[in-house]
Structure 1
């Protein structure tokens, strides 16, 4: 397994060297951060690590990017991609991710124009191709390259690469899609609602240390979703947490009661032509 991981690192490093000067969209997750480590190692200052800061990005992700950038001497560019000024994004249609990524890549392209020719690069991995990801349509339009995909690397391999690079904590980092994914498709995206989602998830994370936690906003309820073990541990304190969440939700006039459910990946997404749950 170690030999295979070393081979993948060599393959990625060669590809990044061939790509040359690049702008890497870095969300703060394991995929983009691991790629940033390799890009900097292969290209030095020719790799510009770009991190968009917005209400949809957890503050922990930004802190993680800044910490690694400082430790490893990356060229880091923080930016506002401008999606919160785009009605197409704020209306939260089924292809919201297309509008989000279109804003992001347009912002990165503007940075690239200021610094000379550079290739836009993302941390998309092979497994991402199995899901409905309208953001990949935006990536094609902006000619974004996906080194993991080009090397046939999936999520498990990315985690092994991170561990091999001495980033054990990064290798174990749970998946955490943007906070806008917690809002049911068709309900408007509002910065204050995403702040509420983040506050609830942080509080539950500190109290329970769950394997997974999501605070989802539906048209008729707020759903706190946890892995089965954490949901069981929460049982005796459900009413306490219900009151806490309702207290935070009340000033925002969020809909419906607070309920506690088993985690279901992507359950706030409503595909085109489907009805809301």
Structure 2
């Protein structure tokens, strides 16, 4: 048996980053990309941090990016992502994420000549992620994947970096992931989802929850920790939906990728 110890995740990531004289990190506001940007900045990589806003990006994610950028002194650019200008994205096919990332990375490429880095981690490779195809076509690099880092590794690194609540952020795919395949992506729907999830989070104390726009109406999916509050959730959602002229289809157990109809393996 070898006495050699596995290289820590931080050391593996540092080795990957040492290949790049500079990077442009696409930061969504989630734990993965924020941790990547924070580590790269601390490691001394010349860094551009780019955050794209759209109706599909929660306002709290943008606020989180701005707060961390100010605290650490990042060179931050906030830009429009452009996907709502693309009818292929708005039509919401099963590969909608491909068109989202196509627009995002093309927009970032117009702002910098540095290699573009995403915050994708090793766990993402097990999901249906057409956005990764767009990334490959545009030579986007994935340092966390190259370093063999899982979501758990990323959270552990975020704690090491002292990122506080960022390390514990629940998975939070873009708001468009709440819309069932084939229902056109609409900014008003996404605004309703954002409002509803904010109210639901306050009611349940957080955890996993999704407000879904389905062909049967608005549905709520709850993680195990919140299922005991389904009655209160249903009452609140019935009120919110009635006030917005929407049909409420009830609550149910959370299922990853429930809105992707026709995709092989999903995670949203």
User: Under a length normalisation based on structure 2, what TM-score does the superposition of the two structures give?
Assistant: 0.92
The equivalent residue for 1:132 is: 128
Number of residue pairs aligned between Structure 1 and Structure 2 = 260
The equivalent residue for 2:101 is: 101
The equivalent residue for 1:41 is: 42
In 2, the alpha carbon distance for the partners of 1:71 and 1:260 equals 39
The equivalent residue for 2:89 is: 89
In 1, the alpha carbon distance for the partners of 2:6 and 2:24 equals 25
Q: Does 1:265 align with 2:256?
A: yes
In 2, the alpha carbon distance for the partners of 1:238 and 1:58 equals 21
1:142-200 deviation per Cα after TM superposition (whole angstroms, max 9, x unaligned): 00000011111111100111111112311111000000000000100001100000000
The equivalent residue for 1:156 is: 152
5+ residue gaps, structure 2, are none
Deviation at 1:10, TM superposition (A): 2.2
Q: Does 1:30 align with 2:31?
A: yes
Answer yes or no: is the 8 Å Cα contact 2:234–2:250 preserved in 1.
Answer: no
Answer yes or no: is the 8 Å Cα contact 1:25–1:120 preserved in 2.
Answer: yes
The equivalent residue for 1:191 is: 187
Deviation at 1:5, TM superposition (A): 9.7
- Counterpart of 1:227 (choices 209, 223, 226) is 223
Deviation at 1:16, TM superposition (A): 1.5
Answer yes or no: is the 8 Å Cα contact 1:210–1:226 preserved in 2.
Answer: no
Q: Does 1:243 align with 2:244?
A: no
Answer yes or no: is the 8 Å Cα contact 1:27–1:51 preserved in 2.
Answer: yes
In 2, the alpha carbon distance for the partners of 1:258 and 1:80 equals 33
SS in 2 for 1:18: coil
Answer yes or no: is the 8 Å Cα contact 2:93–2:181 preserved in 1.
Answer: yes
Go from structure 1 to structure 2 and tell me whether the alpha carbon gap of 1:181 and 1:257 turns closer, same or farther (over 3 Å shift). same
Answer yes or no: is the 8 Å Cα contact 2:216–2:249 preserved in 1.
Answer: no
Go from structure 1 to structure 2 and tell me whether the alpha carbon gap of 1:167 and 1:6 turns closer, same or farther (over 3 Å shift). farther
In 2, the alpha carbon distance for the partners of 1:81 and 1:171 equals 25
Answer yes or no: is the 8 Å Cα contact 2:220–2:252 preserved in 1.
Answer: yes
In 2, the alpha carbon distance for the partners of 1:225 and 1:157 equals 27
In 2, the alpha carbon distance for the partners of 1:50 and 1:5 equals 33
Go from structure 1 to structure 2 and tell me whether the alpha carbon gap of 1:92 and 1:79 turns closer, same or farther (over 3 Å shift). same
Answer yes or no: is the 8 Å Cα contact 1:98–1:137 preserved in 2.
Answer: yes
In 2, the alpha carbon distance for the partners of 1:182 and 1:29 equals 17
- Counterpart of 2:176 (choices 177, 180, 198) is 180
In 2, the alpha carbon distance for the partners of 1:6 and 1:63 equals 34
User: Under a length normalisation based on structure 1, what TM-score does the superposition of the two structures give?
Assistant: 0.89
Deviation at 1:22, TM superposition (A): 1.2
Go from structure 1 to structure 2 and tell me whether the alpha carbon gap of 1:238 and 1:50 turns closer, same or farther (over 3 Å shift). closer
In 2, the alpha carbon distance for the partners of 1:247 and 1:211 equals 25
